[in-house]
């Protein structure tokens, strides 16, 4: 089950990680060579010791000593080369999984997206990207070297001692691996509640930070800090409980390593006392046992960490199971009829509307009015393909978009929502955002002047390409709103849908911008309570009455 999840995330993230397979093959090759050389070092020491005891020539000893030193040098060089690839692969794996997670989240259907706590998602995405790279590299840099070393060491023991000793050595090691696996399965149950309570804590922390203005304005700083402190105490309690259980499992694995160490050192001592092995053999065996003790200890630590990593990746994978937008690439023919609802069954605010009909035409300005919660934004979400109708037909021009929205529609539609989005980067990047059109600096500056935004550059002595990150917080609501409208204009849409576009603007600026929009955009669909907007409308649609009459 988990293998399938891992493979799915690996395949998805590989699109954002070029040369991943080549890098992994290089790492496997390096791990194999390093393990082989490290396994030969104790064998060379054995040959040196036995050579001195059996009166081998000094030239023979010199050759062995020089061989040992060069083997050690090569081992260290390859070890650091391997460490370099470790850093490279870890950073790229982590980044590619994070990009994949973002792409997946943005493609989730809006109804599903609305149910996701962004604070929890942020925590789980960060943790999963780190866990995925750590798990992958643990297999490559901890488990794989131990397996290679175990194989090489067992072969050398088979040649120099006997088959029984070599089989006993490898059999005991495999038994320890098996026991570690079962301990891993047990420790999973301690990580799940730990990660859940941590994600909730992060979510609540972000909630306080994002609502700092309201908290200060209501003199609720102490109240919110006390509430958060209670959440922290709950987290500390769960963390202490989980880690106590995990530590107990870790101690159990350390005891197993101790048993392995003690058993084979006693066996080697016994064989040496009986004259079955040489002094060099004794030193070699002791070196091998000590050599494997560190990887085994690392494996026992990784086994517990892997439990948490598996839990983190599984939680992250749950987002991949959510229903995604399935947009097509279908084309449509131009038509005077823009949108048409034909005997549609749809849901508005938990209420099912039957036999809903509505037609919107080109070259008109529509104003949607109605009480808060009457369904104005819901209607827009159907027009944008975010929500799907239950029955009937919904058309854009001559294209049926009842279930499959076409991405081609976005070539001529732009949307400005109530929440103003200013992104990190330059002013140009914010304005010419996902636009297929190119603009000269003078064109952009002229529009900034028209929207009374030229001061954003002049006051701070900035160019269009200077970073505006440090100034974002100083932007007023009206400035952000005008920037969002201007961004939509620069896409050169034929249809512009706006949700409360003048809520943060004074009457004079609102009228100026609305007149510009009506002159330069073929069709406007506007949700508003503003009288200025109503006065410019060709048709006013009372959404509340519209749904009631359906």
pLDDT digit string (tens) for 343-402? 999 998 888 999 999 999 999 999 999 888 889 999 999 999 999 999 999 999 999 999
**CA distance linking residue 296 with residue 257, whole number of Å:** 7
> Per-residue DSSP letters for 404-470?
--BGGGGGTEEEE-SS----SSBHHHHHS-S-S----HHHHHHHHHHTT-THHHHTTT--TTSB-GG
Q: Which domains does the chain have, with CATH numbers?
A: 2-321 (1.20.1560.10), 337-549 (3.40.50.300)
> Sheet of 523-527: strands edge to edge?
413-416, 495-499, 523-527, 365-369, 539-542
Name the β-bridge partners of 540: 367
**CA distance linking residue 199 with residue 394, whole number of Å:** 40
pLDDT given at position 298:
66
Structure tokens at 304: 């517990």
The pLDDT-based confidence of 465 (bands split at 50, 70, 90) is: very high
Contacts of 115 (CB under 8 A, 6+ apart): none
With 0-12 / 13-18 / 19 or more C-beta atoms within 10 angstroms meaning exposed / middle / buried, residue 137 is: middle
pLDDT digit string (tens) for 209-256? 877 767 877 778 888 888 888 888 887 887 787 778 777 777 777 777
pLDDT given at position 475:
85
Side-chain-side CA neighbours of residue 385 (13 Å): 24
**CA distance linking residue 246 with residue 188, whole number of Å:** 9
Mean pLDDT calculated for residue range 521-542 = 89
Structure tokens at 413: 């539609």
Average predicted confidence (pLDDT) for the chain: 85
pLDDT digit string (tens) for 249-281? 777 777 777 777 788 778 878 887 888 888 888
Structure tokens at 532: 């200025």
**CA distance linking residue 253 with residue 296, whole number of Å:** 9
pLDDT given at position 207:
80
**CA distance linking residue 226 with residue 232, whole number of Å:** 10
| Most confident of the following: 127-131, 190-194, 418-422 | 127-131
C-alpha dist (Å) from residue 255 to 262, 297, 428: 10, 10, 62
Taking the alpha carbons of 257, 262, 267, 269 in that order, is the dihedral positive or negative?
A: positive
With 0-12 / 13-18 / 19 or more C-beta atoms within 10 angstroms meaning exposed / middle / buried, residue 91 is: exposed
**CA distance linking residue 546 with residue 358, whole number of Å:** 9
Name the β-bridge partners of 324: 108
- pTM of the predicted model, to two decimals? 0.76
Q: Are 493 and 412 in contact (CB under 8 A)?
A: yes
Pairing of strands 365-369, 351-361: unpaired
> Per-residue DSSP letters for 159-174?
HHT-HHHHHHHHHHHH
pLDDT digit string (tens) for 486-519? 999 999 999 999 998 888 788 888 888 888 999 9
pLDDT given at position 523:
95
């Amino acid at each position: 089950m988990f293998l399938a999840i891992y493979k799915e995330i690996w395949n998805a993230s590989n699109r954002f990680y070029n040369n991943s397979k080549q890098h992994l093959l290089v790492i496997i090759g390096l791990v194999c060579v390093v393990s082989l050389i490290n396994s030969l070092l104790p064998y060379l020491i054995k040959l040196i010791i036995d050579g001195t005891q059996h009166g081998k020539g000094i030239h023979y000893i010199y050759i062995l000593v020089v061989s040992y030193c060069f083997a050690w040098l090569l081992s260290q060089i390859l070890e650091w080369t391997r460490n370099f690839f470790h850093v490279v692969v870890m950073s790229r794996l982590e980044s590619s999984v994070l990009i994949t997670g973002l792409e997946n989240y943005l493609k989730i259907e809006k109804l599903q997206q609305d149910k996701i706590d962004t604070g929890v998602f942020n925590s789980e995405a960060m943790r999963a990207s780190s866990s995925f790279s750590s798990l992958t590299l643990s297999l490559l840099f901890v488990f794989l070297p131990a397996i290679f070393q175990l194989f090489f060491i067992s072969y050398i023991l088979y040649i120099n001692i006997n088959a029984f000793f070599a089989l006993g050595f490898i059999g005991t090691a495999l038994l320890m691996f098996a026991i570690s696996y079962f301990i891993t399965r047990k420790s999973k149950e301690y990580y799940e509640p730990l990660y859940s309570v941590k994600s909730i804590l992060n979510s609540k922390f972000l909630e306080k930070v994002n609502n700092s203005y309201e908290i200060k304005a209501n003199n609720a700083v102490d109240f919110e800090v006390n509430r958060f402190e209670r959440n922290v105490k709950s987290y500390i309690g769960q963390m202490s409980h989980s880690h106590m259980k995990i530590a107990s499992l870790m101690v159990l694995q350390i005891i197993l390593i101790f048993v392995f160490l003690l058993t084979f050192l006693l066996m080697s001592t016994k064989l040496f006392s009986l004259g079955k092995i040489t002094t060099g053999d004794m030193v070699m065996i002791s070196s091998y046992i000590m050599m494997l003790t560190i990887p085994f200890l690392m494996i026992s630590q990784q086994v517990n960490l892997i439990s948490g990593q598996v839990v983190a990746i599984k939680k992250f994978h749950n987002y991949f199971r959510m229903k995604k937008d399935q947009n097509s690439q279908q084309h449509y023919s131009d038509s005077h009829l823009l949108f048409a609802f034909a005997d549609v069954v749809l849901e508005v605010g938990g209420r099912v509307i039957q036999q809903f009909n509505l037609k919107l035409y080109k070259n008109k300005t529509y104003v949607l009015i109605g009480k808060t919660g009457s369904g104005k934004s819901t209607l827009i979400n159907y027009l944008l393909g975010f929500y799907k109708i239950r029955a009937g037909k919904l058309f854009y021009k001559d294209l049926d978009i009842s279930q499959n929205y076409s991405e081609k529609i976005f070539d001529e539609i732009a949307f400005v929502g109530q929440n103003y989005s200013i992104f990190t980067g330059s002013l140009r990047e914010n304005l010419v955002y996902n636009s297929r059109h190119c603009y000269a600096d003078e064109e952009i500056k002229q529009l900034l002047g028209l929207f009374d935004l030229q001061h954003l550059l002049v006051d701070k002595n900035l160019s269009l390409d200077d970073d505006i990150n440090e100034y974002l917080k100083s932007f007023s609501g009206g400035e952000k709103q005008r920037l969002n409208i201007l961004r939509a204009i620069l896409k050169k849409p034929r249809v512009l849908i706006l949700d409360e576009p003048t809520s943060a603007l004074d009457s004079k600026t609102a009228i100026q911008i609305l007149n510009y929009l009506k002159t330069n955009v073929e069709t406007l669909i506007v949700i508003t309570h503003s009288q200025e907007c109503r006065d410019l409308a060709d048709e006013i649609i009372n959404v509340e009455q519209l749904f009631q009459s359906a």
